[in-house]
Amino acid sequence: MKKKIVFLTGTRADFGKLKSLIEILNKHGQFEVHIFATGMHMDEKYGFTVKEIEQYNYPNIFKYINHDSESMMDMTLGRTIEGFASYVHLIKPDLIVVHGDRIEALAGASVGALNNILVAHIEGGELSGTVDELIRHAVSKLSHTHFVANEDAKKRLTQMGEIDENIHIIGSPDMDVMLSEGLPTLASVKLHYDIPFADYALSLFHPVTTEIDNLLQNAENYFETLETSELNYIIIYPNNDKGSELIMHHVRKCQNSSKYKVFPSIRFESFLTLIRNAQFIIGNSSAGIREAPYYGVPTINVGTRQNKRSKDPDLIHTGYEKEAIEAAIQKALGQKLTAKQLFGSGKSDVQFAEIIASERFWKTQKQKTFADIY
């Protein structure tokens, strides 16, 4: 009898990291794959990106709206738990797969833990700023198995008392897509999205929930500096965390300028092509920490959101002051970097499938214990 596996996805970003894992298990005769799509996927403001999932013709996609324009993060978490719990009781999966540090992942891991269902956490054990780090570590403690990007992440999970044999280093799954030969050409992406620029930088600036009192000023400094740089920018909407509307106030202004192209979301493969050919990436997105270095593209990391996420010495870290951001832009324009592989080599899906298909994996204890390191 096939094992029933459900992947929970709430954003274009986490779907990009789960996609290769979903596809390899879909082709595997041992598994029945389901997808629970919620969060920003179901928000028209962000491009209703569930359509991106549907275009791959996966057989079992369940769509669930977990928030509205008035929802706070705690309310969204509660709604996601309620909806996902109902879904889990209906299909009775053998394994729940969640990714990263979003509240949807926390909801999925909570439901699994409370219903005695195995939970696999993708890319746990990493560091980041804001409340995201708290969520990521909470998800790890609620999960039974871990598929991490590198040795550093494994060490942190070990420090948290996770059992060594349940932590698997497979690299970051989005590298499977990044390093494939199936990415669209830059010309085709520019044509599809009507991007007229010969040269451009990518901007992804998200709210920092623990700095909400300063967000209005920080966002103003950020966008004013983009304007005075007189460069071309492709801007992608912020995520839907608390404070996103303060950033959207500035994003909307950019829509009226010929120096910007603004998008709610961009298909993952097309997004990778745009990163690969950008002058630099600026903001506070993990894309600048993970994907950009693989292509040798400079990254300007503004503020604390990705604090301690990577030890890459070529990352340009800056505060929110306009002068500091201006200096960082000039530094990025002068950087000539080589590609580097910090989070795997593009074989995560194969490793993941081999582990999931093993007899030992399905003997993982659902009753978690704490592994002392002293």
pLDDT over threshold 80, residue 348: yes
Count of Cβ atoms closer than 10 Å to residue 92 Cβ:
10
- Cα–Cα distance for residue pair 236/251, rounded to 1 Å: 9
Strand partners for 282 = 203, 300
Residues 6+ apart with CB under 8 A from 225: 322, 325, 326, 329
Asked whether residue 251 falls in the same domain as residue 129, the answer is no
pLDDT at 99: 97
Asked whether residue 148 falls in the same domain as residue 196, the answer is no
Q: How confident is the model at residue 175 (pLDDT cuts 50, 70, 90)?
A: confident
Q: What is the mean pLDDT of residues 301-315?
A: 84
Instruction: Give domain status of residue 374, yes or no.
Output: no
pLDDT at 180: 80
- Cα–Cα distance for residue pair 13/342, rounded to 1 Å: 18
Q: What is the DSSP letter of 2?
A: P
Asked whether residue 200 falls in the same domain as residue 148, the answer is no
Q: Who wins on pLDDT, 342 or 57? A: 57
pLDDT at 323: 97
37's enclosing H/E stretch is: strand 31-37
Contact 7, 162 (CB under 8 A): no
pLDDT over threshold 90, residue 128: no
What percent of the chain shows pLDDT beyond 90? 78
Contact 264, 237 (CB under 8 A): yes
- The number of domains in the chain is 2
Instruction: Give domain status of residue 138, yes or no.
Output: yes
pLDDT at 258: 95
The sign of the CA dihedral 342, 50, 284, 152 is: negative
pLDDT at 341: 73
Q: 12 is in which domain, residue-wise? A: 3-179+345-363
Instruction: Give domain status of residue 370, yes or no.
Output: no
pLDDT at 240: 85
Q: How confident is the model at residue 347 (pLDDT cuts 50, 70, 90)?
A: confident
Asked whether residue 269 falls in the same domain as residue 152, the answer is no
Asked whether residue 191 falls in the same domain as residue 175, the answer is no
pLDDT over threshold 80, residue 345: no
pLDDT over threshold 80, residue 130: no
pLDDT over threshold 90, residue 232: yes
What percent of the chain shows pLDDT beyond 70? 99
Q: Round the average pLDDT of the chain to a whole number and report it.
A: 93
Instruction: Give domain status of residue 339, yes or no.
Output: no
Q: How confident is the model at residue 167 (pLDDT cuts 50, 70, 90)?
A: very high
DSSP 75-135: HHHHHHHHHHHHHHHHH--SEEEEETTSHHHHHHHHHHHHTT-EEEEES-S---SHHHHHH
- Tell me how far CA of residue 57 lies from CA of 34, 133, 293, in angstroms: 12, 33, 32
Asked whether residue 29 falls in the same domain as residue 167, the answer is yes
Question: Residue 258 belongs to a domain with what CATH number?
Answer: 3.40.50.2000
pLDDT over threshold 80, residue 68: yes
pLDDT at 343: 74
Taking alpha carbons only, the member of 102, 12, 305, 369 closest to residue 110 is 102
- Cα–Cα distance for residue pair 35/256, rounded to 1 Å: 38
Instruction: Give domain status of residue 15, yes or no.
Output: yes
pLDDT over threshold 80, residue 129: no
pLDDT at 181: 81
Asked whether residue 19 falls in the same domain as residue 74, the answer is yes
Q: What is the mean pLDDT of residues 28-52?
A: 93
Residues 73-123 have pLDDT tens digits of 899 999 999 999 999 999 999 999 999 999 999 999 999 999 999 999 999
- Tell me how far CA of residue 313 lies from CA of 300, 321, 337, in angstroms: 12, 21, 11
pLDDT at 177: 85
Strand partners for 98 = 121
Asked whether residue 250 falls in the same domain as residue 150, the answer is no
3-state secondary structure of 35: strand
Asked whether residue 174 falls in the same domain as residue 34, the answer is yes
pLDDT at 1: 87
Asked whether residue 165 falls in the same domain as residue 268, the answer is no
Q: What is the DSSP letter of 340?
A: -
275's enclosing H/E stretch is: helix 268-276
Q: Could you give the dihedral angle defined by the CA atoms of residues 128, 130, 133 and 135, in that order, rounded to the nearest 10 degrees? A: -150
pLDDT at 312: 82
Instruction: Give domain status of residue 372, yes or no.
Output: no
Q: Model's pTM, two decimal places?
A: 0.87
15's enclosing H/E stretch is: helix 12-26
Asked whether residue 75 falls in the same domain as residue 90, the answer is yes
- Cα–Cα distance for residue pair 276/262, rounded to 1 Å: 18
Asked whether residue 152 falls in the same domain as residue 231, the answer is no
pLDDT at 54: 94
pLDDT at 120: 98
Residues 6+ apart with CB under 8 A from 187: none
pLDDT at 188: 98
